[in-house]
Amino acid sequence: MTAAFLLIPAIRGARRNLGKRSPKVLAALAIGGVLFALALYLGLYKFLEYIARAPMLGPIFGPMVGSLLASKFLEMLFLSLFFMILFSSLIAGFSAFYLDDEIRLLVSTPVRATHIFWSRFVLMVVESSWMVVAFFTPIFFAFATALKAPFWAYFVFPVYLGMFLLLPNILGGVAALGLASFFPIRQMRKVCQFLSAMVLATMIIFFRFLEPEKLLNPKYFSSVSNYILNLKNPAMEYFPSTWIHQASLTLFEGNMSESLSAILPVFFSMLLGLALLHLLAKYFYLASWQASLEAVENQVLGLEWIRRALILPMRFFAEDFRVVAVKEITVFLRDPAIFSQIFMMAAIVFVYGYNLTIIPLKDLPSLYSGEISDSMVFFNGPFIGFILAALGMRFVYPSISLEGRAFWAVKASPIQPSRLLKVKFFLYLVPTLFLGFGLCFISNRIFQVSNGLLYWLSFLNVGLMALVITALAIGLGALYARFDADNPLKIAGSFGGFVFMVLSAVYVMNLLVLESYPLFRLYFIRFYPLTQASGKILVLLSFFLLLVCTVLWVYIPLSQGKEAIERYEPD
Amino acid sequence: MSQIEAVSDPVGDRVGKPVAEPVIILKDIRKKYGEFEALKGVNLEIGRGEMFGFLGPNGAGKTTLIRILTGIIKPTAGAVLICGHDLLAAPDLAKGCLGYVPDRPYLYEKLTPLEYFDFVAGLYSIPHPDVLKRGEEMLRMFTLWEWRNELIESFSHGMKQKVAMSSALLHDPDIIVVDEPTVGLDPKSVKMVKEFFNSLVQRGKTIFLTTHTLSVAEDLCHRIAIIHHGNLVALGNLENLQKLSKSPGSDLESVFLKITEEESELPPHPSTQPGKLV
């Protein structure tokens, strides 16, 4: 029996899951995905083409510095990709090697431990890498096109990328095996989740403090030669991201032989890593798996005071609302993985806030400064929407699935499952609104919004987005519920999570389109006062349509989710 | 069926006749999963204070029927009346009379037993002080009181089963539906559960249980129904079933095996025809 044979159930399961989806939805998503990839590819290609010329540096230094800048961005991308997959594989590794129930069955069969390990390793690689690869592929192809790569480079590059991606996965696998051999895995997993989130968040913050936008601003150069030298130096010379960066650059330039010699360190590191992993698996996997069974989590975790404080106001609500809310808060706070996620989200919010503070609004021409500053509020809306959607995907969307197999208790009780949906909707709406309004308040202070109407309109926008995003998360969470999954990350990264993100983006677009006319009139009200009746009617009509659309965006997903949850029949 | 005599069988004499005070009525229950018909028109009446055993081989439709009876899934056709309430038309009233103990005790693992009871009690609108009192009684009875502040995730299967059983009884339901009540329990707990069920029946509660442990059914149940391939193939007390299978004096295991083996040769049970109950 080989490791490949052991993958058959996972492959069949994935095919079965895909087969359950309506072909129309699948086709719509496939088209949407291709369009998104195309937009990403073309947008980045245009950007890179511009960067490669760097016209702000003049006709002589521009192209020279520009190509170095594009190359530097590529290097940064490989570095980010390496770390993202390393952390992702570390968490996926613990789950794939130790925590899946299926392993118990496999270990009791005559299958060799190394075969079990390698089959789990493949699952780990897929889980940790598929989404990142799907997102990064059009980006890399944009680089290839911008650097005028020959057609065959597009076929060779995926091979390079595959080898490169195996490296962080091998490292993640080695780390998971090593840590599990010395520590009780069930506790280690939490520790590592927390640590990896912390390191990753530090990286994001560190990256932001490097202020890459300064690379494009001549004001910061002390001397051009120093700058060029700085750009030419790789960030880390003996690191896989530098190797693949060099190999890719030469590949895109059409220099195959040089490219092959540059990729050799990646290839040999991969072989060495696989051999090391095999040895570790052979001698440590079974023993560490057996040790992992011994650690039991049996204590009520800390932070009880936060839980008690949060559930205190619930006593003023109806009994069924109270118990569902208390259960939700308790389960949420007792899941240790939640803290690493909260930490990550806090880092995203921090980076967002920091980015706002470095926008050079002070340097704007004085005549239009008020309008430009005010218009930032309009463009800031989608960013807040994106943050709310990202949080919604991670914390709100999985909440229905996380009822898990215990959901029978609700189905067998007199309470209607749709009531559960309503309680969750209102429960999650409150923090979503709080966060949205908080971000809106801070950004309005930073932008020093001068127009009072616009100021309050930004709050209305955020309120509407919070309402729709929560409704989408709860409704789609019920429609695409996976009661068999216990990992919120897995639930969020599933098909339904993807649909949620796409629809959230579509709503934000919908909101922007419908508000564009009223806001256009508002910005330029001091030049073109709103006196004509037709203009006023159009403004009113836009807001009326926005309200109607928002009601539909809230009602449709919630009613679909309600039907799905009523229809759902637990195993 | 010695146990039946010991508890002065309230319904044993009703076997073969319409049940006088039915609290569960199933009318022509059918359930289809795609093309597969899991239940092919089941009719049943179960009286107040009756301990009713529902048996069948794997895949016969037991769990499907139990899930329909508890309102977890809906039948493709047919009606379910619980304490006079239509389960489909008035699920809140019907479910309020039921307590359900599933075969696999999936619970909210991040809660302690008392927190879980509070949650379940809220779903059944039981006042908070009553829950604490009743929860304590149940936990003490099942020797879980010392574990009251531990998370359920650290419990063994048997302990979780006890928590599930306790939570099903929190609202003091008239009907208790139990799927495999003894799986995962140690012999002492099995004995205690049997005695507890008998005491509930003596208090006028109705228990509908399924089990593969035929000795449990033989010990406890007043009447037994056997389902096979989605049809009710036999219904009655042990004596009736012995007659039906033409194996007088045999134990329930032999009767069960004979009925399920020869089911295709036997005429359809009258109860499977709408409106004709044994």
CB-closest option in A327, A413, A416 to B108: A327
* Per-residue tokens: A274: 């696989």
Looking at the complex, report in whole angstroms how far the Cα of residue A411 sits from the nearest Cα belonging to chain B.
5
Looking at the complex, report in whole angstroms how far the Cα of residue A420 sits from the nearest Cα belonging to chain B.
10
Q: What residue ranges do the domains of chain B occupy?
A: 2-97+173-272
Looking at the complex, report in whole angstroms how far the Cα of residue B119 sits from the nearest Cα belonging to chain A.
5
Contacts of residue A466, defined as CB under 8 A and 6 or more positions apart, other chains included, come to A388, A429, A432, A433, A435, A436
ipTM above 0.90, yes or no: no
CB-closest option in A326, A335, A414 to B123: A414
pLDDT for res B19: 65
pLDDT for res B12: 39
User: Measured between CB atoms, does B93 come within 8 Å of chain A?
Assistant: yes
Angle (nearest 5°) at CA A298 between A295 and A302: 115
Task: With cut-offs at 50, 70 and 90, classify the pLDDT of residue A570.
Answer: confident
Distance set, CA A240 to CA A80, A84, B137 (Å): 12, 14, 63
B123 and A569 within 8 Å at the Cβ level: the answer is no
CB-closest option in A320, A330, A408 to B72: A408
User: Measured between CB atoms, does B153 come within 8 Å of chain A?
Assistant: yes
pLDDT for res A369: 53
Average pLDDT of chain B, as a whole number:
83
A412 and B100 within 8 Å at the Cβ level: the answer is yes
Q: Are strands B51-55 and B206-210 parallel, antiparallel or unpaired?
A: parallel
CATH topology of domain B2-97+173-272: Rossmann fold (3.40.50)
- Rounded mean pLDDT of B80-84? 93
Q: For residue A39, count CB atoms less than 10 angstroms from its CB and return exposed for 0-12, middle for 13-18, buried for 19 or more.
A: exposed
**Interface subset of B 159-198, CB within 8 angstroms of A:** 167
Looking at the complex, report in whole angstroms how far the Cα of residue A339 sits from the nearest Cα belonging to chain B.
15
Task: With cut-offs at 50, 70 and 90, classify the pLDDT of residue A219.
Answer: low
Task: With cut-offs at 50, 70 and 90, classify the pLDDT of residue B272.
Answer: very low
Mutate to test the interface with A, among B97, B119, B146, B154 (most CBs of A within 10 A): B119
Looking at the complex, report in whole angstroms how far the Cα of residue A397 sits from the nearest Cα belonging to chain B.
18
DSSP letters, B205-251, are: -EEEEE-S-HHHHHHH-SEEEEEETTEEEEEE-HHHHHHHTT-TT--
Dihedral (CA of A33, A35, A40, A45) sign: positive
pLDDT for res A373: 63
Is the separation of the CB atoms in B123 and A410 below 8 Å? yes
Distance in angstroms (rounded) separating the CA atoms of residues A488 and B278: 51
Task: With cut-offs at 50, 70 and 90, classify the pLDDT of residue B168.
Answer: very high
% chain A with pLDDT above 90: 20
pTM for the whole structure: 0.73
CB-closest option in B95, B108, B115 to A412: B95
pLDDT for res A561: 93
Q: What residue ranges do the domains of chain A occupy?
A: 1-298, 364-571
pLDDT for res A101: 75
Is the separation of the CB atoms in B61 and B41 below 8 Å? no
Residue bearing the bigger pLDDT, B248 or B195: B195
Among the residue ranges A386-400, A512-526, B19-33, the one predicted with the least confidence is: A512-526
Is the separation of the CB atoms in A273 and A167 below 8 Å? yes
Residue bearing the bigger pLDDT, B28 or A238: B28
pLDDT for res A298: 45
- Rounded mean pLDDT of B78-102? 92
Dihedral (CA of B205, B206, B211, B215) sign: positive
Mutate to test the interface with A, among B83, B110, B153 (most CBs of A within 10 A): B110
pLDDT for res A416: 86
Closest CA relative to residue A235, chosen from A62, A78, A44, A52: A78
